[in-house]
Amino acid sequence: MTSPNLDDRIETYYVKVRGMVQGVGFRHATVRQAHALGIRGWVANLEDGSVEAMLQGSANQIDRMLSWLRHGPPAARVTDVAGEERHTDKRFERFEQH
């Protein structure tokens, strides 16, 4: 019996990052990290000072991206990362900053 390959199934995950995450290059660094990991989706600032992102990739890619988001770039101070898997048929072509 073989285990499911975590690189085959595409997952979509919505995440909200709170803390000192605006004005510190968080979105730009997130785009660079997503490109490095092969993640697709987007990242955007919210009016409440947090950052939201939609991540799409394999389970392994998503796990590595979530791990990075818990710290962010050096100037950021992340206090909370909350997210949930989203079920969608939409497939993003790239990772963008909004």
Catalytic residues: 27, 45
Contact 53, 30 (CB under 8 A): yes
Residue 66 DSSP code? H
Contact 80, 26 (CB under 8 A): no
Contact 43, 33 (CB under 8 A): no
Contact 30, 51 (CB under 8 A): yes
